[in-house]
Amino acid sequence: MTSVIIAKSKLNDFLASLKSGYQVLGPVRQGDMIAFGPVNKAEDLALPYSNTRLSIKSVFFPQSERMFGYSLDKEDADAGIIKETPKEYPNRVVLGLRPCDAKAVTLVDVNMDNPQFQDPWWVKRRETTTLIGLGCEHPCSTCFCTSMGSGPFDETGLDVLLTELPDAYLAKSLTPKGDQLLKQAKGTDAASPANEKTAAEIKTKAEQTLPQLDTAKLKDKNMMELFNARFWERVQFACINCGACTFLCPTCWCFDIQDEVSKKAGDRIRNWDSCMFPLFTLHGTGHNPRDHKVQRVRQRFMHKLKYYIDKYGDGPACVGCGRCVQACPVNIDIRNVITLMNEYQTSAGTKA
Amino acid sequence: MMKGLLEYMGTEPGRLHFSWISSAESTKFVEVANTVAEEVKALGPAKHFIKEKAEVA
Amino acid sequence: MLEYVGKIRDIARRLLSENKVDVVIGFRQGTIPMMSEPAVVSRPEDVDELYWDYNCGINLTNYLTKRTDRIGVVAKGCDSRNIVTHIVENQIKREQLYIIGVPCHGMIDRSRILAALDGQEPTAVVVNDTEIVVTGPGFERKFNRQEYLQNNCATCIHRNPVVYDELVAEKVEEQKLDDRYADVKKIEAMSPDEKWAFFDKILAPCLRCYACRNACPLCYCPTCFVDESRPQWLGKSIDPTDVRTFHFLRAYHCAGRCTDCGACERACPVNIPVRLLTKKLNMDVEDLYGFEPGMVPDVRPPLDVYRPDDPGGFIK
């Protein structure tokens, strides 16, 4: 757990040394938006920035990904045998992601990499990727990370945390991967206790700017009473059932698998799916257990804020990045839903 | 209008043809078929709206 | 337009108290600047939830489809034209509706203002007659209101509702515009390869989230063609051919029906100018059929009927 200083004037030296061992990704400009893309020099980084429009998840879990391929050519000895599509897993660094995104990756790990199931592509990409987070000195007005068990300088899931000082970054290594990266990197200088003190002050100040939403009562609520609560009718009215919230969300992990056949070859592809879509739960029989919008809207919030907590004794499965608040076309605000759920009492007045 | 929108999005004029030919108009059928074949050949193989394999990760 | 708020609430309160309607559909004030939330109220004591400002760009007709109750609905010019379209297409009955007409000054373009702020975050936005005043931590920026209207509002010629039971204010003057289709004509002037490349570029960020489709009041099919599986019309990945096919077909399904309300473009989380497709069709429908959708309730849209004098220039 070492800390070093990277002077802003030496950021390019630092980057150049990273590039000798890693592919470097970071927040870069793409049209009106900021997205994770290749970084060659310090000027490529879209700094300062609030957050990327889309979360980090596509770095580990692309929106569309070829899983398997097969031949349907009768002449081919391997016809009909499904084979894993070969992929490359270069060593990568993501430089400058926000701590909430890294925390979100650890929440998705619960689904993608657990004792029972390991998603091979997620796991390999996680192993070969080093995350260098950039703490948020100025959180957005839609951020509520500290209420969701994360924070503007949360170290969860990161290998290195950067804190921006007036003309340098304080880089704190948090894992053996981070240690190794900083040891090999050029452009670094020893950090002084004064640097550490400034960074600690910046952290405290940033945390104080964030609002506090109460989530303490979610855990003890009765699931069925929350499920049957009348407020869902009101929450769901505006929803148009698009997938903007789920696709932008760093913790939404659902996918759908499709076979695409062209001529004599086929691919098995997985694509992000969204619980907002009617097709998500449509059965082969034609029956759909979530046939109505209210059921789908409720599912999204209940999954993040109740089922996850109950199932894993952890969570909620939200990091408070505020992307869905910003992107929802009809302004359905998860912060309000959290409060509605946390404060919900049944009409009898008993604790729900 | 569909032809208009396709061409607006970059499909080459001459790629898509519409005709109304009665079953009694064999001569017109031959003429139209020949014109279509010539015009499409002149444009070369189609590049657009062709998906051999999904371009995904 | 803030002066409309009181009037909307008064009308809604009266309609609900006198049991003229079962619910009133309007907007609630947004939780963040430049947003608002479609809302429904059913009790007179709740009407103060209703709000109106320059951020009500979502089309409320979307919330009327196949409802069976009596509804008071707040409608600006474009919403009212979509109500007409809904009536023509049997999605709602005129007798069910009490239309609270809102003469509209145009909605402001949130995505363009956010882009102009270049990462600075607005915490308050106030709109006056000429300016949009945006303030945030340590900054204040002013934008010319006319320049930062949503593009569809800047080229709108039906700001006043075409059908209503009551107006919340005097009608506004309609805009006189020389050329509402300059952006479409600019694309038409390109070569086929340039056109193809242009649309490749603007469609590249598409996530297939279907916000454009779902925000559109015209898209009410029980099963959309993208969701059909027998047969499956197109792939579901973000392959560029599939993305383009989706956008092409979505737009084409709106031909002769689209009122250019701009809800699709406003809803897009990745700022794709999807209206460039529907607008081309709107222009062609005007040129070929002299038709503007949603103006009269007893005329079927041109692509829905055959007439002997339909333009047939494309048929050899």
Q: What phi and psi, each to the nearest 5 degrees, are found at residue A36?
A: -80, 125
- Mean pLDDT (chain A) is 95
Shortest Cα distance, chain B CAs vs residue A133, angstroms: 25
User: How do strand A129-134 and strand A83-84 relate by DSSP bridges?
Assistant: unpaired
Same domain, C1 and C32: yes
Q: Is residue C153 part of a domain?
A: no
Q: Do B51 and C281 touch (CB under 8 A)?
A: no
Cβ neighbour number for residue C247 with a 10 Å cutoff: 23
Same domain, C140 and C263: no
Residue A260: list chain B partners with CB under 8 A: 53-54
Tell whether C188 lies on the interface with B, counting CB pairs under 8 A.
yes
Q: Do A262 and B57 touch (CB under 8 A)?
A: no
What pLDDT does A348 receive? 53
Per residue in A244-261, pLDDT tens?
999 999 999 999 999 999
Q: Do C209 and A237 touch (CB under 8 A)?
A: no
Per residue in C159-195, pLDDT tens?
999 999 999 999 999 999 999 999 999 999 999 999 9
- For the whole model, what pTM was predicted? 0.94
Could you give the strand order of the β-sheet that contains A23-30, starting from the edge strand earlier in sequence? A33-38, A23-30, A92-97, A129-134, A160-165, A168-173, A3-7, A188-190
Q: Do A64 and B53 touch (CB under 8 A)?
A: no
Distance (Å, whole) CA A335 – CA A317: 14
Q: Is residue C302 part of a domain?
A: yes
Task: Using the predicted structure, report yes or no on whether residue A351 has a pLDDT greater than 50.
Answer: no
Please name the residue of chain A whose CA is at the shortest distance from the CA of residue C228. Answer: A279
Shortest Cα distance, chain B CAs vs residue A317, angstroms: 26
Residue whose entry in the numeric block shows the structure tokens 């047939």: C312
Same domain, C98 and C201: no
Residue A267: list chain B partners with CB under 8 A: 53-54
Task: Using the predicted structure, report yes or no on whether residue C215 has a pLDDT greater than 50.
Answer: yes
Shortest Cα distance, chain C CAs vs residue B24, angstroms: 16
CB of C24 within 8 A of CB of A223?
no
Tell whether A64 lies on the interface with C, counting CB pairs under 8 A.
yes
Which helix (DSSP H) or strand (DSSP E) does residue C10 occupy?
A: helix C4-17
Shortest Cα distance, chain C CAs vs residue B1, angstroms: 7
Would you call C48 helix, strand, or coil by DSSP? helix
Q: Which chains touch B (3 or more CB pairs under 8 A)?
A: A, C
The one-character DSSP state at A347 is: T
Per residue in A201-211, pLDDT tens?
999 999 999 99
Task: Using the predicted structure, report yes or no on whether residue C40 has a pLDDT greater than 50.
Answer: yes
Per residue in A111-143, pLDDT tens?
999 999 999 999 999 999 999 999 999 999 999
Total CB pairs under 8 A between chain A and C:
113
Distance (Å, whole) CA C173 – CA B41: 54
Would you call B3 helix, strand, or coil by DSSP? helix
What pLDDT does C315 receive? 87
Distance (Å, whole) CA A345 – CA A323: 29
Distance (Å, whole) CA C177 – CA C171: 18
Domain ranges in chain B are 2-46
**Number of folded domains in chain C?**
3
Task: Using the predicted structure, report yes or no on whether residue A347 has a pLDDT greater than 70.
Answer: no
Total CB pairs under 8 A between chain B and C:
75
Tell whether A65 lies on the interface with B, counting CB pairs under 8 A.
yes
Q: Distances from the Cα of A341 to the Cαs of A89, A212, A215, A251, in angstroms?
A: 42, 15, 9, 19
Tell whether C267 lies on the interface with A, counting CB pairs under 8 A.
yes
Per residue in C218-253, pLDDT tens?
999 999 999 998 899 999 999 999 999 999 999 999
Which helix (DSSP H) or strand (DSSP E) does residue A206 occupy?
A: helix A193-209
CB of A67 within 8 A of CB of A269?
yes
Residue C121: list chain A partners with CB under 8 A: 50, 140-141
Please name the residue of chain B whose CA is at the shortest distance from the CA of residue C191. Answer: B10
Same domain, C68 and C169: yes
- Percent of chain A past pLDDT 70, that is, above it, reads 98
Could you report the predicted ipTM of this complex, rounded to two decimals? 0.94
pLDDT band at A352 (very low <50, low <70, confident <90, very high): very low
Same domain, C128 and C71: no
* Residue A323, C-beta contacts closer than 8 angstroms, at least 6 positions apart: A51, A53, A55, A245, A248, A249, A250
Distance (Å, whole) CA A177 – CA A158: 10
Residue C207: list chain A partners with CB under 8 A: 54, 63, 243-244, 247, 272
Q: Which of B3, B12, B56 sits opposite C314 (nearest CB)?
A: B3
Distance (Å, whole) CA B16 – CA B33: 12
Q: Do A64 and C239 touch (CB under 8 A)?
A: yes
Measured between alpha carbons, how far apart are the two ends of chain C, in Å? 52
More confident site: C187 or C307: C187
Please name the residue of chain A whose CA is at the shortest distance from the CA of residue C269. Answer: A327
Q: Distances from the Cα of A1 to the Cαs of A7, A15, A316, C232, in angstroms?
A: 19, 21, 28, 54
Per-residue b or e along C151-167, where b marks 16 or more CB atoms closer than 10 Å to that residue's CB: bbbbbbebbbbbbbbeb
Task: Using the predicted structure, report yes or no on whether residue C122 has a pLDDT greater than 80.
Answer: yes
CB of C305 within 8 A of CB of C299?
no
Per residue in A61-87, pLDDT tens?
999 999 999 999 999 999 999 999 999
Q: Do C316 and B6 touch (CB under 8 A)?
A: no
Distance (Å, whole) CA C309 – CA C255: 19
Task: Using the predicted structure, report yes or no on whether residue A320 has a pLDDT greater than 60.
Answer: yes
Q: Do A62 and B51 touch (CB under 8 A)?
A: no
Give the CA angle between residues A296, A299, A304 to the nearest 5°: 140
Tell whether C199 lies on the interface with B, counting CB pairs under 8 A.
yes
Same domain, C164 and C279: no
Q: Distances from the Cα of C226 to the Cαs of A83, A277, C243, C249, in angstroms?
A: 28, 11, 10, 9
Dihedral, CA atoms, C35, C38, C43, C45, nearest 10 degrees?
10
Distance (Å, whole) CA C22 – CA C42: 6
Q: Which of A64, A65, A262 sits opposite B53 (nearest CB)?
A: A262
Residue B13: list chain C partners with CB under 8 A: 192
What pLDDT does C2 receive? 77
Tell whether B24 lies on the interface with C, counting CB pairs under 8 A.
no
Same domain, C134 and C87: no
Shortest Cα distance, chain C CAs vs residue A248, angstroms: 9
Same domain, C115 and C101: no
Helix axes A334-343, A293-302, angle to 10 degrees: 80
Same domain, C170 and C212: no
CB of C243 within 8 A of CB of A63?
no
More confident site: C3 or A326: A326
Q: Which amino acid is at C41?
A: V
Q: Is residue C298 part of a domain?
A: yes
Q: What six digits make up the tokens of C23?
A: 């619910």
Task: Using the predicted structure, report yes or no on whether residue A239 has a pLDDT greater than 60.
Answer: yes
Q: Do B19 and C251 touch (CB under 8 A)?
A: no
Residue to mutate among A255, A258, A260, with most B CBs inside 10 A, is: A260
Tell whether C102 lies on the interface with A, counting CB pairs under 8 A.
no
Distance (Å, whole) CA A258 – CA A293: 24
What pLDDT does C3 receive? 87
Q: Which of C35, C209, C236 sits opposite A244 (nearest CB)?
A: C209
- Percent of chain C past pLDDT 90, that is, above it, reads 92
Same domain, C216 and C101: no
- Mean pLDDT (chain C) is 96
Per residue in A167-178, pLDDT tens?
999 999 999 999
- Percent of chain C past pLDDT 70, that is, above it, reads 100
Q: Is residue C46 part of a domain?
A: yes
Q: Do B56 and A62 touch (CB under 8 A)?
A: yes
Q: Do B8 and C193 touch (CB under 8 A)?
A: no
**Omega before A166 cis (within 30°)?**
no
Q: Distances from the Cα of C4 to the Cαs of A219, A260, C157, C170, C270, in angstroms?
A: 43, 53, 21, 11, 31
Same domain, C23 and C142: no
Same domain, C86 and C217: no
Q: Is residue C224 part of a domain?
A: yes
Q: Do C215 and A32 touch (CB under 8 A)?
A: no
Q: C95 is in which domain, residue-wise?
A: 1-105+158-176
Task: Using the predicted structure, report yes or no on whether residue A13 has a pLDDT greater than 50.
Answer: yes
Task: Using the predicted structure, report yes or no on whether residue A183 has a pLDDT greater than 90.
Answer: yes
